[in-house]
Amino acid sequence: MGHSSGRYRILPHTADGKFQAYGATLEEAFGNAALATASLMWDWTKVEPRTRYAVHMKARDLKQLLVKFLGEVIYLLETRRFLLGEVAGLTIEREEASSRIEAVFIGDALADRYALFGDVKAVTYNEMKIEESDCGRYTVQVVVDM
Amino acid sequence: MELRKVDGNTWEIPRQGDMLVPGVIYASERLLKDIRRDLTLTQARNVACLPGIRKMSYVMPDAHQGYGFPIGGVAAFDLDEGVISPGGVGYDINCGVRLLATGYRDKDIAARRKELLAGIFKEVPAGVGKGGVTKLSLGVLKEILVEGAEWAVRNGYGLPEDLERTEEGGRMRDAEPGGLSNRAMERGIPQLGTLGAGNHFLEIQKVAEVFDPETARAFGIVGVGQVTVMIHCGSRGLGHQVASDFIERMENERGTDGLPDRELVHAPFRSDLGRSYYGAMCAAVNYAFANRQMIAHWVRDVFARVLGGPAAMGQVYDVCHNVAKVETHRIDGVETRLCVHRKGATRSFGPGRREIPAAFRAVGQPVIIPGSMGTSSYILAGTAEAEEKSFGSTAHGAGRVMSRHEAHKRFRGERIRDELAARGIELRTANLKGVAEEASEAYKDVDEVVRVSDEAGLGRLVARVVPVGVMKG
């Protein structure tokens, strides 16, 4: 938990899990947010790359897209027993009335060699931010219900 | 935020800006200090702006910041002019608490405590990613979503008399499983009959103090030393998915313009979307009732096997603390049908309400308020006063004061386990590291929460129980 080589930072929040994820592009920041979500439940750096899931979804705006994208990490854990270890090929298309995301989640099936230490129930809009700084770096901030 | 002090335990957020009604906080100065540390009061003010809200936007003594509505928030909306909001129920639909009062005394189990806890730990799946023992078909899941705890009893989990000692008889009649997404169903199938993780727990307890013996007896609590079992869990991933799905649908169909917070998204109660959410929420409520019914059954089995039963293991009650319900309340002398949202709040109906079982109708319903790990939990009785003051609601637990992250930095699971053991409390967990997050220091003082509840008239103190064995997911 905590820092992971500049990808994200876990922040204090009374009841839930809060983090900021960073990237040179919006895509990178979203990918790091998925790893930050995983980091609240397991050590994604130890997950072996054995299984892949194609992830694609659309939403009415970027915030909803982020909620749905991160929700996929929880959904795949609960229904496929899948642990995310890496996000590849992430693309985001932004249009006026909808946004789309595509990515490949790479990881492994839950097994005894992996430890689960937290339960993320849902991704929320609470204190959510998606920001581009003056120097062109992206920060997303998310609170998840735990 | 400026508050007007009404009395020692009551504070008002005066109506201002877009607020349609004032806000009211039930808290002592000490609890108010905790409540002021986050966005709870701002969230209560936002709720007061929602269409059709009646009387007040209420904040319970254990409140803390939520998403949209505060945790510990109670708001009631007119059925014709008002709304229903998934953010007013929360992600863990029908998170709730069930209490069993056993015929065993603490001395009967003293030597077998470890064995009991180990048995329960084996029978009741718990922890993140832990699937249930029952592999359900989609058809059976749909039956459960319609019938709730009735399905469980019909299939041999528990006793018919448990049903009348469950809110709604363990089954909300307006459930519409057709409103659930495939994703919600997929998440529900592997998790039925599981405790989950986080703040969910199962405790073997003993009665430590009885404040009102007559009411306690009506609840099945006979005296100090009696063994009780408390089960705290909800609708698992199925309920979380229903909440996420309907927040998204409401955003897509109704937009987010003008919402101070996106999780305040709502739909008129009398709209297709509002009805659809209500039906899906009721289905998730039923799933949670069935879940607690099955867990209670396994606990009884283990007690009978280890202790050679058959001592009674009757149910005191099963309460929901994340739910929206249609109820009748008197406003300015007029009986009014309302959609009451309780998010992190427990129904606290007083004597006479037809919704509560005949056995409690003279004393008020049992209100079960769990503490945090290693602390006391409480049994209160609902009051007529609460119906006037909070649409018949009170607190739901201790409420967090410290972030999980901070708790991880300060506490160690091993240390907590050893300290509990030194106090005679056995701990079993799937995740010792996660135990640090649930350290009692990370929570408000539950003793103060129930003291205020009692003093403010929201729920009368009946009994206090203390843990002897704790199982955490």
* Token couple for B436: 């640090």
Q: Is B396 a catalytic residue?
A: yes
The per-residue pLDDT for B310 is: 66
Contact across the interface for A13 and B403, Cβ inside 8 Å = yes
Give domain status of residue A3, yes or no.
no
Q: What is the pLDDT of residues B210-230, one digit of tens each?
A: 999 999 999 999 999 999 999
Domain that holds residue B452: 4-84+92-472
pLDDT value at residue B394: 98
Which pLDDT does position A3 carry in this prediction? Answer: 53
Residue of A nearest to B444 (CA): A14
How many C-beta neighbours within 10 Å does residue B221 have?
23
Residue that has been written with the tokens 């009735």 in this structure: B150
Mutate to test the interface with B, among A78, A98, A112, A127 (most CBs of B within 10 A): A78
pLDDT at B396 > cutoff 70: yes
**In the structure, how many helices (H) and strands (E) does chain B have?**
16, 19
User: Is the preceding peptide bond at B22 cis, omega within 30 degrees of 0?
Assistant: no
Residue A2 has pLDDT above 60, yes or no: no
Asked if B128 lies within 8 A of A63 by C-beta distance, the reply is no
**Looking at the complex, does the CB of residue A66 fall below 8 Å from at least one CB of chain B?**
no
| Tokens at A141, concatenated | 């901030």
Domain count, chain A: 1
| The pLDDT of residue B117 | 95
**Cα–Cα distances in angstroms (integers) from residue B315 to residues B132, B203, B307, B361, B456, in the given order:** 23, 14, 19, 16, 28
The radius of gyration of chain A from alpha carbons, rounded to an integer in Å, stands at: 14
CATH number (domain holding residue B198)? 3.90.1860.10
CA of B368, closest CA in chain A: separation in Å?
A: 21
The ipTM estimated for the assembled molecules is 0.92
State the CATH number of the domain containing residue A77.
3.55.10.10
Number of neighbours of residue B433 by Cβ within 10 angstroms: 16
* B284: nearest Cα among B171, B446, B150: B171
DSSP secondary structure, B88-114, as one string: GT-SSTT-EEEEEEEEEEHHHHGGGHH
Owning domain of residue A114: 8-145
Instruction: Say whether pLDDT at A48 is over 50.
Output: yes
pTM: 0.95
Residue A2 lies in a domain: no
Q: How far apart are CA B253 and CA B245, in angstroms?
A: 12
B130 pLDDT tier (thresholds 50, 70, 90): low
- Residues of chain B with C-beta less than 8 angstroms from the C-beta of A115: 431, 433
Residue with tokens 């705006």: A61
Task: Return the SS3 of A93.
Answer: strand
Q: What H or E segment, with its residue span, contains residue A52?
A: strand A51-59
Count of domains in chain B? 1
CB B376 within 8 A of CB B446: yes
pLDDT at B260: 87
